[in-house]
Amino acid sequence: MSLRLGDVAPDFEAETTQGPIKFHEWLGDGWGMLFSHPADFTPVCTTELGKTALLKGDFEKRGVKVLAVSVDDLDSHNRWLPDIKDVTGTEVNFPIIADEGRKVAELYDMIHPNASEKSTVRSVFIIGPDKKIKLMLTYPASTGRNFNELLRVVDSLQLTADYSVATPANWEDGDDVIVVPSITTEDAKKKFNKGVTEVKPYLRYTPQPNK
């Protein structure tokens, strides 16, 4: 199945390390991040899950639930959790899907045969309250993800969902943002009372409106 931005995230039922879930029901009315890892007891995945656990409070502040998935079974996941705590100093405090039947992996096109016929690539899906996919990222198995960057992306997605702005290159929460081209400069000056700076007719900056 080929998913695209704006598609409704496929719903599914699955067993996890924190009990069975129905995905859409589990998401509720908030944001979600579903991310895959190639296999249990692998070095990069161990660091990734530990880092996500350390940042869980930061995701929660943004109303984002996190959910991991791999094609290993529940027993394997549970045997692996103590290793993650030992290596990273934190317990995994979010569910990991046991997807040994590859149901979720196939729904979300996480198996790329030219990379590996058995393991999932490092896929990331950020899903909005409307259950639609807002972001998709795919990394090779050899490259660990930057979860601080994923938080930055969430900040941008949530900001641009609520205001008529876009975020420029290397934007961080609190930086100036770009007025979207569909708004004239005259209207932008009325809409954004903190001021509008015109660099080019199509490039106008304004202070972040929710700060």
3-state class of 165 per DSSP? strand
- Told to judge if 7 belongs to the known catalytic residues of this protein, a careful annotator would answer no
Question: Concatenated DSSP letters for 16-67?
Answer: BTT--EEHHHHHTTSEEEEEE-S-SS-HHHHHHHHHHHHTHHHHHHTTEEEE
Tokens 């984002």 appear where?
Answer: 64
**What is the distance, to the nearest Å, from the Cα of residue 56 to the centroid of all Cα atoms in its chain?**
12
Cβ-based neighbour number of residue 91 at 10 Å: 11
- CA–CA gap between residue 43 and residue 87 (Å, rounded): 10
Size of the chain in residues: 211
Closest C-alpha to 46, from 85, 96, 72, 97: 85
Residue 87's alpha-carbon distances to 45, 50, 81, 95, in angstroms, are 11, 8, 10, 19
Closest C-alpha to 134, from 155, 113, 165: 155
Query: Which residue among the candidates 9, 14, 27, 45 is catalytic per the annotation?
Result: 45
Which residues carry out catalysis?
A: 45
